C-alpha cells in the first residue's frame, strides 16, 4: 500500500491551482471536469503521481466556500530553509499564519501558511 493523495475542497479552483503552483511551486498534473456530477478535479504535486503523494483539489460547481471544521489539522511540507520559504511565500502574496521559528517545546524550525480556502500548510525545516 501507499498513500496516493489528500483531497481538499475549494471554492475557486483556478485561485487554488495558482496558489499551489505559483506560491508553493507545485505542478498541475491533471484536471478534469465531470459535468454529470457537476464537479472538477485537479491534481497537483511536486512530482508524478506514480511516484509521489499529491493533493486532489475538488471544486463542486456553484459552491464558493467551505468551513474547514475542527477536525482538519494541516498538510506538512519539508523545506530547506523555513525563514527563506516564508519570505518567498510573502513576496508571492501568500498568507503566513505563524512566522518561522522553533516549534513549541522543541527545536525544529516550523511555520504555517494558509491557502486561499484557509487550509493550513506547515513548513518544516529539513533535518540535516
Q: What is the pLDDT along the chain (128 residues), one digit of tens a residue?
A: 889 999 999 999 999 999 999 999 999 999 999 999 999 999 999 999 999 999 999 999 999 999 888 889 999 999 999 999 999 999 999 999 999 999 988 899 999 999 999 999 999 998 87
The architecture in CATH of the region 5-60 reads Roll (3.10)
Place of cell 498541475: 28
Active site residues: 122
pTM here is 0.90
Q: Cα separations (Å) of 53 from 4, 105, 124? A: 5, 29, 17
Question: Measured between alpha carbons, how far is residue 120 from residues 69, 95, 96, 114, 117 in Å?
Answer: 12, 10, 10, 5, 9
The per-residue pLDDT for 39 is: 97
In the chain, CATH 3.10.180.10 covers: 5-60, 75-125
> How far apart are alpha carbons 54 and 16 in whole angstroms?
14
For 10, phi then psi, to 5°, come to -130, 145
Distance CA 51, CA 61 (A): 30
CATH fit for domain 75-125, picks 3.40.630.10, 3.30.930.10, 3.40.50.300, 3.10.180.10: 3.10.180.10
Amino acid at each position: 500500500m501507499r498513500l496516493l493523495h489528500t483531497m481538499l475542497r475549494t471554492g475557486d479552483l483556478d485561485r487554488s491551482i495558482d496558489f499551489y503552483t505559483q506560491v508553493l511551486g507545485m505542478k498541475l498534473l491533471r484536471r478534469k471536469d465531470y459535468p454529470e456530477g457537476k464537479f472538477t478535479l485537479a491534481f497537483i504535486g511536486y512530482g508524478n503521481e506514480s511516484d509521489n503523494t499529491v493533493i486532489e483539489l475538488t471544486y463542486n460547481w456553484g459552491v464558493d466556500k467551505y468551513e474547514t471544521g475542527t477536525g482538519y489539522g494541516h498538510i506538512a511540507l519539508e523545506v530547506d530553509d523555513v525563514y527563506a520559504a516564508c519570505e518567498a511565500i510573502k513576496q508571492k502574496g501568500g498568507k503566513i499564519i505563524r512566522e518561522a521559528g522553533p516549534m513549541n517545546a522543541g527545536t525544529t524550525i516550523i511555520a504555517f501558511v494558509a491557502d486561499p480556502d484557509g487550509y493550513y500548510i506547515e513548513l518544516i525545516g529539513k533535518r540535516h
